[in-house]
Amino acid sequence: MRIITRTTPSVDTENWQNTLATAFRHSDDLLAYLELPQNNPMAHQQAAKSFPLLVPKPFADLMEKGNANDPLLRQVMTHPEETRHIEGFVTDPLDEQQSNVQPGIIHKYQGRVLLIAATGCAVNCRYCFRRHFAYQDNQIGRKHWQDALSYVRNDRTIHEVILSGGDPLLLNDHLLSDLLDHIESIPHIKRVRIHTRLPVVIPARLTSALVTRLGQSPLQCSMVLHVNHANELSQELQQGLQQLHQQGIILLNQSVLLRGINDQLIHLSELSELLFEFRVIPYYLHLLDPVQGAHHFHVEEQEAIALHRQLLANLPGYLVPKLVREVPGKANKSPIDLDL
């Protein structure tokens, strides 16, 4: 197992917003940086039309130069297959528009709501189920937090607010602190959770101001990261997570099972073990949502179950994520492989 250290530190690691501003936005730039040849540039441009390429440099620095099959590159690189329509792969596989009870709020499950705190991400993952989501209707912004949160305030059965998106850590520390103030003022809220991939692609996002603010929250605070492969876990990220851990923030991870990226036992067991070394507990392993443009990442359910059983046979139970899929209309994420 290897923890990758960068040979040359990125110029802007002190300032995550600059790092984001200088992220790769064109496949040819990214390929050139990785010393890879251009291949079918028209097809890549076509794929980027509906969902642009976006890859911050620190994440590209974790990829192996010259390797077109690098597991990190494949998650974020446009692919000619994306523009092919395959039956069953649709634009809103989770039927989320239904639970979008008011702008910025998705209320699907008992006791918890998802607040779309930011509509963009710091990286565009090609398999993402939100690649077609109606974000333009959910761009709530600071002025409308009160409206969105009044929904939460008026429903005393809600005990947890999940900051999601997009990626909620796109909000700067000041805005995020303001938003937390609002949430903390609702008497029946006990927990706040942050679903984010940003620290994985730009570890400098875990600023000391953010860590301190989360540590000071009167709410029970957790962060659910999104890491799919052990190579995504850098030393810089480890340092940031260490600080969160010291502040008592519970760290969890969710992954998506992806063809050609983490669909072997070795990938998933290495990931779980390294996550634990980083103080992160594996939480969910999601089956890919059948989203249009992502069919080439699909892993068959039977294969997923077999992999999950191998994991159970090889790791302590607490290092085995729950294998789940999201079924529209269900009261929770649906566990798969219940009758072992």
Ligand X SMILES: *Cc1c(COP(=O)(O)O)cnc(C)c1O
Burial letters 235-255, b for 16+ CB under 10 A, else e: ebbbebbebbbeeebbbbbbb
Q: Say whether residue 125 binds ligand SF4 (CB under 6 A).
A: yes
Q: Which of 57, 74, 108, 130 binds ligand SF4 (CB under 6 A)?
A: 130
| Cβ-based neighbour number of residue 182 at 10 Å | 17
Q: Which of 62, 114, 256, 288 binds ligand X (CB under 6 A)?
A: 114
What radius of gyration, in Å, describes the C-alpha atoms of the chain? 19
Strand-pairing partners, residue 197, are: none
The residue among 60 and 162 lying less far from ligand X, judged by its C-beta, is: 162
Restricted to residues 10-29, the positions that interact with ligand SF4 (CB under 6 A) are: none
Instruction: Please give the C-alpha separations between residue 137 and each of 15, 67, 104, 116, 287, in angstroms, as whole numbers.
Output: 30, 39, 8, 11, 27
The DSSP call for residue 206 is S
The answer for residues whose C-beta is within 8 angstroms of residue 143's C-beta and 6 or more apart is none
Phi and psi angles of residue 195, each rounded to the nearest 5 degrees, phi first? -95, 115
For the CB of residue 166, give the shortest distance to ligand SF4 in the complex, in Å.
Answer: 6
Q: Which of 167, 270, 289, 326 binds ligand SF4 (CB under 6 A)?
A: 167
107 near 148, Cβ under 8 Å?
A: no
Q: Say whether residue 112 binds ligand X (CB under 6 A).
A: yes
For the CB of residue 67, give the shortest distance to ligand X in the complex, in Å.
Answer: 33
For the CB of residue 226, give the shortest distance to ligand SF4 in the complex, in Å.
Answer: 5
Nearest of 40, 70, 91 to residue 261 by alpha carbon = 70
293 near 131, Cβ under 8 Å?
A: yes
Q: Which of 44, 57, 213, 226 binds ligand SF4 (CB under 6 A)?
A: 226
Nearest of 285, 256, 270, 280 to residue 199 by alpha carbon = 280
The residue among 112 and 279 lying less far from ligand X, judged by its C-beta, is: 112
The residue among 197 and 298 lying less far from ligand SF4, judged by its C-beta, is: 197
Q: Which stretch binds ligand X (CB under 6 A): 48-56, 108-116, 215-223, 313-321?
A: 108-116
Q: Which stretch binds ligand X (CB under 6 A): 60-68, 105-113, 129-137, 243-251?
A: 105-113
Q: Of these partners, ligand SF4, ligand X, none, which one is at the site of residue 108 (CB under 5 to 8 Å by kind)? A: ligand X
The residue among 135 and 276 lying less far from ligand SF4, judged by its C-beta, is: 135
Q: Which of 19, 27, 124, 254 binds ligand SF4 (CB under 6 A)?
A: 124
**Contact letters for ligand X, residues 115-154 (x by CB under 6 A):** ----------------------------------------
Give the Cα separation of 284 and 122 in Å (integer): 22
Give the Cα separation of 95 and 92 in Å (integer): 5
Strand-pairing partners, residue 211, are: none
Q: Say whether residue 228 binds ligand SF4 (CB under 6 A).
A: no
Give the Cα separation of 326 and 329 in Å (integer): 9
For the CB of residue 106, give the shortest distance to ligand X in the complex, in Å.
Answer: 4
Residues that bind ligand X (CB under 6 A): 106, 108-109, 112, 114, 162, 332-333
Interface residue list for ligand SF4 (CB under 6 A):
121, 123-125, 128, 130, 167, 197, 226
